[in-house]
Amino acid sequence: MKKIVFGITSLNTGGAERTLVDLVNALKNKYDITVLTLYGKGELEKELKDIKIHSLFSKSYQDYSKREKISISLKISSTKFQKETIQKYQLKEFDQVISFLEGPMTHLFSNKELHPIAWIHTDMSIHEANGLKGKLKKRRNHKDYQNYKKLVFVNEKNKLAFQKVYHLNIPMEVIPNYIDEKRIEKLSKEKIREVFETPSFLTVARLVYAKRIDRLVRAHARLIKDGFMHHCYIVGDGEEREKIEKLIEEKGVSKTFHLLGRKENPYPYMVSCDYFLLPSFYEGAPITLYEAKLLKKFILITDNDSKEVVKDYSSKRIFENSEDGIYEGMKNILEELPKYHSSKNQSQSLEPIISLLEG
């Protein structure tokens, strides 16, 4: 039985994290799998069944002080720590070493002797910071990625964007996100206490800059002011929560814009809403869109790379990628209140992933 190790920053609730948990649970009978996280105590860890898991740092990222976070960041960027990690977890003994998410693990696994594979979930041409910090990060990423034997992308546009930035002559492959359909369908039937007011728009996302929940708050407030009554619900948490809470209060929409926090099971909320809305500035192939398709929701997104996920899905609207675009798009929806029509979901197969691991 082949030994496979997947590396990821943590197993806190998130799209790539959710995908990895579903993936390794589906593959566990075929491979000897280990998951190596940078930070421990992720909410999704308990869902790993008969799979070994190790964490380089025992606590979650949020549990460390600002000073400790800086210390950890400096530590993991050192060559010494990289060598110690490879030796401690005997990474050279694995048949496949996979960094499943761009970030620290990509650096820690970037040793040619490991013959590693990197999974990339986002548009790296947008994701990279500007200025000196961005240049230094790009230089380090270039150095790290050139040590990988193969790069895997969740969609074609992310692959093209990466090539435009890094110009690396490395084998590349596109493999769509894997989702466990039976798990989602089962969990979607659970009852929730909240009662959604109608018409309702639901977003399931981390509260981080890329998701641009602030644009949604502003568009929502404008619509309410203009007489278009509706409610917005956000499932998720993150570093921008305090900023968003202040904006909600400032705009006077605390009774119609609801932050529900992180939910272990977001699917009953997706079922309960009228529209699933993702107002992100940029995306890769968000797992929430695959899930919304599976649950046959009417999907609303801003114009970014995520539209590739819904290109063959009829129950959708794509808004201009701006606050005005979100406002106008939601306004049109509220004026029309279109009826739903189901679309057949295209299941994601394990076959491309198994071919990759066997290769």
- The reply to whether 138 and 284 lie within a common domain is no
pLDDT tens-place string over residues 327-358: 999 999 999 865 443 343 444 668 888 888 88
pLDDT value of residue 341: 38
- The reply to whether 103 and 168 lie within a common domain is yes
pLDDT value of residue 340: 41
- The reply to whether 122 and 72 lie within a common domain is yes
- The reply to whether 102 and 204 lie within a common domain is no
CATH classification of the domain holding 56: 3.40.50.2000
- The reply to whether 130 and 191 lie within a common domain is no
Domain of 23? 3-175
| E strands in the chain | 3-8, 32-39, 52-57, 96-99, 117-120, 150-153, 172-174, 200-204, 231-235, 257-261, 275-278, 298-302, 316-319
- The reply to whether 101 and 221 lie within a common domain is no
- The reply to whether 144 and 13 lie within a common domain is yes
Number of domains making up the chain:
2
Those residues with Cβ within 8 angstroms of residue 223's Cβ, 6 or more apart along the chain or in another chain: 230, 327, 330, 331, 334
Is residue 134 a part of any domain in this protein?
A: yes
- The reply to whether 220 and 145 lie within a common domain is no
- The reply to whether 11 and 151 lie within a common domain is yes
- The reply to whether 132 and 226 lie within a common domain is no
Is residue 347 a part of any domain in this protein?
A: no
- The reply to whether 99 and 202 lie within a common domain is no
**Confidence grade of residue 76 (pLDDT, cut at 50, 70, 90):** very high
pLDDT tens-place string over residues 198-219: 899 999 999 999 999 999 999 9
pLDDT value of residue 353: 86
- The reply to whether 51 and 134 lie within a common domain is yes
Is residue 180 a part of any domain in this protein?
A: no
pLDDT tens-place string over residues 137-185: 888 899 999 999 999 999 888 899 899 889 999 999 999 889 899 999 9
